[in-house]
Chain A
Amino acid sequence: MSTLRIDREAADGAIVRRPGFGLLRALRQGPLFAGAAAVLVLLVLIAVFAPLIAPYDPDAVDLTATLAGSSSEHLLGADQSGRDILSRVIHGARTGLLGPLLVVGISTFLGIAIGVAAAWRGGWIDAMLSRSMDLIFAFPGMLVAILFVAVFGSGLTAPVIAMSVAYTPYVGRLVRSIAGQEKARPYIESYRVQGWSGWTICVRHLIPNITPTVLAQSAINFGYALMDLAALSYLGFGVQPPDSDWGSMINEGQAALLQDAMLPSFAPGLCIVVAVVAFGIVGEGIADRVAKRER
């Protein structure tokens, strides 16, 4: 029982980073963190005030402007149906952010509930919950999402539910690991000695103390979820035309590429990249700050 400080980064179930995002880790502190955070705030504002900002109705068809290039009338040009791309990109931010927000919200909530229950109760409850999470890990999220779409129909609901289920074990495994370490800390043990119920200790003390780490994971998950949902839309399983969505816009813009019009697919693609990178940098930055505070 000497002063034992546990290195969270080294522990099993540390924050899950997908391969290919290693580059982002180099950019996660300093002005870039601030810049990424500013981009995210801007995105949220654009999504919230989309109807006020957008110069045109995103669904207004103007066949005279088909595949128009960038001009003062259409800053980012127009697509095959002559719809203003800027307005569609701005409105696309709404579904683009709402979907991942729901996925991250639901998966964080479920992940915390499952992870804390597994860590606190241990024994067969832990074994059962952990094996269930392993089972979900075994299925690619995309495949589950396509299955759900086949059963419940396309739109935002089915992919969001499927992605929430697919992301829950990422959060759950992390929470189980850090809640297990937290449970063994003397301050939690002293609450038990004081006579508090396990429920009260978990809700009032344990969960708030692990929240920063969980939030860092959730911010990173947000980027992944955004990308996954955009991919589903691109494949035609998510938001359906004519509703504007970045993923489906890239799909619709593919044909325009052959006619030398780059903007219809390039503009929404760039939005996805910027949003995912910004969430990645912010998530990594939070994770770093938490790790620093731990030491």
Chain B
Amino acid sequence: MTGSVTRTSGTTGDKGADAVDATLEVVDLCKAFGGHRAVDGVSFTLAPGGSLGIVGESGCGKTTTARMLVGLVSPDSGSIRVGGRERSAPTRNRAERLARAREMQMVFQDPYLSLDPRVVVRECVEEVLRLHFDLTREQRTARVVELLDQVGLGEREASALPKALSGGQRQRVAIARALAAEPKVLILDEAVAALDVSIQAQILDLLAGIRRDAGVGFLFVSHDLAVVRHITEDVVVLRGGRVVEAGPTVDVLTEPRHTYTRLLLDSVPRVGWDPARIAADRRALEREAGGSSGD
């Protein structure tokens, strides 16, 4: 689908020595909204170029975790480090802001809302390059073409406004825009949930290719276990803001140790699927948990 992907050496020039270690470490992250503890002591590690899934039902704190990682929400406590550099405190200046943006980028859930309606695709990618890299106009233009090609978009899409594009094309633009900053970690927050199934497959295939070629680490936030199984190596299962199970994706999703993970797996519709039994199991799980979790 996409052509071969090679990164131009020119644009990576100012990254220097810190490009070596890009491990994402999250330790004991906490965030409460009012009295509700949305994220409660979450810890995980993502190796450079690795792929980690965060799964759980709606409201389990996975989106809040992702938003804390990119700095859209500030955590109450805990630490977020990329290559040993702390990033949980608010940024103090421009240099710090740009450095953090080059550590981590995010692709949002809904491609219909995540692109500026007034900005054409080419400009949308180019302005990221202008902000982060010192390139000439020609270099920038070439890099935009390269980035768009990497996600399978051509000249026609480049000069279009987002409203002229389909959902899948918009999500490709969002991915190209995120890759433009050359992040070490790419957070995909339900990045295929708003797309229909056949387009999902295309985007997942594209993402797998990008990870292989560009060496970006993926943090895949999703409620869709099939997608997570397909694209991640490790997985963290969240429930009520806490990690209930973590480990290699294959192990966790084939032989879950925690009852909640088993419940999640059983909840996926298939032949012989019994929603009534799942609802009963869920009630039993909640009784078991007793007063420990409020909801």
Contact = CB atoms under 8 A, between A and B. Distances in A.
Interface of A: 1, 3, 185-187, 189-197, 205, 208-209
Interface residues of B, number: 33
B181 A205 contact: no
Contacts of A208: 118
A248 B249 CA distance: 81
Given A1-B63, A186-B109, A209-B118, A196 B131 contact: yes
A175 B112 CA distance: 23
18 contacts: A1-B190, A3-B194, A186-B108, A187-B113, A187-B115, A187-B116, A192-B71, A193-B70, A193-B71, A193-B101, A193-B106, A194-B101, A194-B131, A195-B101, A195-B132, A195-B181, A205-B116, A205-B119
Contact of A186 (B97, B101, B113): B113
A195 B113 contact: no
B106 A190 contact: yes
A191 B118 CA distance: 14
Contacts of A3: 110, 112-113, 194
B287 interface: no
B128 interface: yes
B37 interface: no
Given A1-B63, A189-B72, A194 B105 contact: yes
B87 interface: no
A225 B94 CA distance: 42
B228 interface: no
A22 B126 CA distance: 47
Contacts of B116: 187, 191, 205, 209
A195 B70 CA distance: 10
Given A3-B194, A186-B110, A193 B118 contact: no
Contacts of A190: 106, 108, 114-115, 174, 177
Interface in B44-84: 63, 70-72
B100 interface: yes
B106 to A, nearest CB: 5
Nearest to B113: A186
Given A194-B101, A194-B131, 9 more contacts: A1-B109, A185-B113, A186-B110, A190-B108, A190-B177, A192-B72, A193-B72, A195-B97, A197-B94
